[in-house]
Structure formats: C-alpha cells, structure tokens
C-alpha cells in the first residue's frame, strides 16, 4: 500500500501514479490547476473580478445575472454570500432529492433570508428519486448519489435558461476538496439512464435527466457558462464556517455533505464499507496538500472511523424497500464501475478537442475536460 508523500491518497485511489519523489499525479493535477488559475494570487483575484464585471454587464436589464446552486452546506452558502457581496444579483437554486435534513433546509432559509435572495427549487417525485437510488445500489457501482449531482447540474441550467441567465456560479474549490477521482464519481446522462433501465421499476417523469443533447443545448446553443470563483481566490472552510455561524445563525452538520441523508449514507457507510474508500480522503488530502494541516494530522484524522447518524442504515433500507438480504448481498457484492455500463465516455473522448475549447471559454469546467475526455481519467 503506497501513500503519496505529500497528500494522503493511496493506491486504492483509481488511476493513481507516483513520481520519483512519491508525489501522486492528483497533487500534480491540483498544482497545474493552481498555476492555470493563479489561485490566491492578486492575478487570480483580478481575473475573477473581470469575470464578475462581465457577469454584471451581461445581466443588465434581467431579473437575475447569475444562478448559484445551494445545498445548505458550507461551500454553497459561502458562495451565495460572496456573490451578493460582489454586487451580483443571484438566483439561488436547489435540487431537492427529498432526503434533506432539517439543518440543510434551515441553513438555506437563514442565509437566503438574510441576503434577500430568491430561491428556485426542483423537487423530484420521491418515489422516482428512490427508484433511481435503488437502481444504482443494485448496480453495485460507487455512484449512489450521481443522480443527485447530475440533476443539480440540469436544474441549474434550467433555472438559468428560464431567466435568460448566462452564468452559473459553483462553490467548488479544488484547494479544499481536491478533484474527485473519476473512478469513484462518474456521472453522465447515459450512465443514469442505462442503469435505471436495467434496475429501475418505474417511469421517470419528474427527474431532470441531462442527456447528451440537453448538455449540448445548454453549452452550445444557450451558451451558459460555469464559473468556479473559489478556483481564483483563497478559501478556508473553517473561516467560512465561523462567518456563517456568527452572522447567519448557520449550523454545521458535522461533515462534508452530511446535510443530506443520501449523501451521508453514501459517504459514511456505502463507500467505506463496500469500496474501502473513505471519501473524507478528498478533503483531508486536499488540506494536507495545501498545507492547512500536516500530512500526519490528515492521516490521523483519516484513521478515525467516520461519523454515522444512528439509524441511517435502517432508514436507507426502509426507504428504498430493501430487505436485509438484498442489502447485504450488494454491500458484499462485486465492485463495479462506470466502465461496466454504457455511458457517454467514449463520445466525450472523441470530442476532446472541442471540449478543450469549451473549457477555455468556461462553458464546461476545466476539471470536466481533464477527467472525462482523457483516456486515462486524469
């Protein structure tokens, strides 16, 4: 078992390689991104300000000039506050997969209430939502929550499209979270559609599926851009949390993505127990890589078992209608990946040059280009 000498990613991480100093290729990817975006430097800040001004310009005369996805979590709450601070007029967008906790909804309410920002929500029919989750579970793949991620992306586009907004702001930070290895978190419309076709039991009517042509429509026809401000400026999660708690009465839910029960199950039970991967490694590796904590501290924290809300597993089984036998069978079953099912990956690889251009134009995130269009996943 080899562990990177700089962060804490180990050989379990898909597509990982180590250079002669033992530093992994994911560290290198982050360094490259940092160089590209001039993160945390005055040049990076300047670039971001230019983008913000551009957003304001294009948004003149419209009700909103950008949309921001909110989940009640740290990053998105911080993002919406900054957007308002920069003088933008955002529409907050939430995709409700019907597994939210009260903390999440309350955080959204408090932050948006204080900032006087409007909220657009897409709620999927709970039975459909569960049918899709169940399909992914029975498919033995890691992406239990991929459906939520893709649905949020589509919902953001729809909200932007509805109000003729050309910019989506995302609160992703590669400094604090790294970039998730593709082998752990792959999602596209074909993947979801095909897994659901194979394992699902009901028709999809309210789930916002983004198939290839929708994707093309949003980026080529509607030309809606995705901006990740936290790629340009310094960002500390701890500081963000303190600010949120003090000024907005926001509450921390105890762990990355634990504000939603499905994600909580995914991160604290499913991934560690079935795939031997503790997704806390993403943020811990990133913190170590960036020097927020030492590599030893990160490894120490990683060794401690993740926090699991009591009765979470029971709730999961009950809600998805899984018998104990079926649950055990999957948990102890084979470890499949997106490569075992039909996806758009090949198509994305073929269109690599086009996506490079689109990434440069901010029409797709650079990390999408890096991971999805490369034959090596990185």
| Smallest separation, CB 133 to another protein (Å) | 12
Q: Name the pairing type of β-strands 167-169 and 66-69.
A: parallel
Q: What 3-state class would DSSP assign to 153?
A: helix
Among positions 309-328, residues that touch another protein (CB under 8 A) are 318-319
DSSP state of 346: H
Residue linked to tokens 């310094």: 234
User: How much is the CA Rg of the chain, to the nearest whole Å?
Assistant: 20
Q: Among 126, 236, 337, 374, which residue interacts with another protein (rule: CB under 8 A)?
A: 126
CA 83 to chain centre: 19
- Report the length, in residues, of the chain: 378
Q: Contact between 93 and another protein (CB under 8 A)? A: yes
Rounded to whole angstroms, the Cα distance separating 221 from 188 reads 19
Q: Among 108, 139, 219, 224, which residue interacts with another protein (rule: CB under 8 A)?
A: 108
Q: Name the pairing type of β-strands 119-123 and 167-169.
A: unpaired
| Per-residue binding letters, 156-195, with another protein (x by CB under 8 A) | ----------------------------------------
* Short-list 330, 325, 320, 256, CA closest to 99: 320
Beta carbons of 70 and 63 less than 8 angstroms apart: no
Q: Among 2, 17, 46, 102, which residue interacts with another protein (rule: CB under 8 A)?
A: 102
Q: What 3-state class would DSSP assign to 12?
A: coil
Q: Among 12, 98, 337, 362, which residue interacts with another protein (rule: CB under 8 A)?
A: 98
List, in sequence order, every beta strand (DSSP E) within 183-227: 225-227
Q: Among 125, 149, 297, 377, which residue interacts with another protein (rule: CB under 8 A)?
A: 125
Tokens at residue 112, please? 């948006």
Q: Contact between 123 and another protein (CB under 8 A)? A: yes
Q: Contact between 121 and another protein (CB under 8 A)? A: yes
Rounded to whole angstroms, the Cα distance separating 49 from 55 reads 10
Tell me how many residues contact another protein (CB under 8 A): 30
Among positions 219-278, residues that touch another protein (CB under 8 A) are 261
Q: Among 65, 75, 76, 96, which residue interacts with another protein (rule: CB under 8 A)?
A: 96
| Smallest separation, CB 261 to another protein (Å) | 8
CB of 120 or CB of 338, closer to another protein: 120
Among positions 200-219, residues that touch another protein (CB under 8 A) are 206
Tell me which residues touch another protein (CB under 8 A).
Answer: 92-94, 96, 98-103, 105-106, 108-109, 112, 118-127, 129, 206, 261, 318-319
């Amino acid at each position: 078992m080899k562990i990177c000498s700089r962060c804490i990613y180990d050989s379990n991480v898909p597509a990982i390689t180590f250079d002669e100093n033992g530093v992994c290729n994911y560290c290198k990817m982050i360094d490259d991104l940092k160089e590209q975006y001039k993160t945390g430097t005055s040049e990076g800040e300047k670039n971001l300000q230019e983008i913000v001004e551009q957003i304001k310009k294009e948004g003149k005369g419209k009700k909103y000039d950008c949309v921001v996805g909110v989940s009640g979590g740290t990053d998105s709450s911080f993002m919406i506050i900054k957007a308002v601070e920069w003088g933008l007029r955002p529409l907050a967008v939430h995709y409700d997969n019907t597994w939210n906790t009260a903390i999440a909804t309350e955080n959204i309410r408090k932050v948006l209430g204080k900032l006087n920002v409007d909220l657009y929500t897409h709620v999927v029919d709970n039975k459909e939502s569960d049918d899709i989750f169940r399909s992914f579970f029975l498919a033995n793949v890691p992406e239990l929550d991929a459906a939520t991620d893709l649905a949020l992306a589509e919902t953001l586009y729809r909200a932007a499209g509805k109000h003729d907004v050309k910019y989506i702001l995302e609160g992703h930070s590669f400094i604090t979270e790294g970039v998730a290895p593709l082998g752990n978190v792959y999602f596209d419309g074909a993947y979801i559609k095909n897994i659901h076709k194979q394992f699902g039991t009901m028709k999809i009517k309210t789930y916002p599926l983004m198939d290839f042509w929708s994707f093309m429509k949003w980026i080529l026809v509607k030309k809606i851009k995705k901006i990740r401000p936290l790629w340009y400026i310094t960002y500390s999660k701890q500081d963000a949390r303190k600010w949120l708690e003090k000024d907005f009465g926001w509450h921390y839910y105890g762990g990355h993505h634990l504000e939603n029960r499905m994600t909580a199950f995914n991160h604290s039970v499913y991934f560690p127990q079935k795939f031997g991967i503790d997704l806390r490694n993403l943020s811990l590796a990133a913190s170590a890589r960036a020097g927020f904590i030492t590599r030893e501290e990160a490894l120490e924290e990683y060794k401690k078992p993740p926090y699991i809300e009591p009765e979470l597993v029971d709730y999961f089984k009950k809600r998805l209608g899984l018998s104990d036998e079926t649950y055990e069978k999957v948990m102890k079953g084979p470890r499949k990946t997106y490569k075992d099912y039909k996806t758009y990956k090949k198509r994305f690889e073929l269109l690599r040059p086009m996506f490079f251009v689109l990434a440069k134009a901010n029409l797709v995130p650079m990390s999408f280009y890096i991971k999805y269009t490369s034959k090596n996943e990185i």
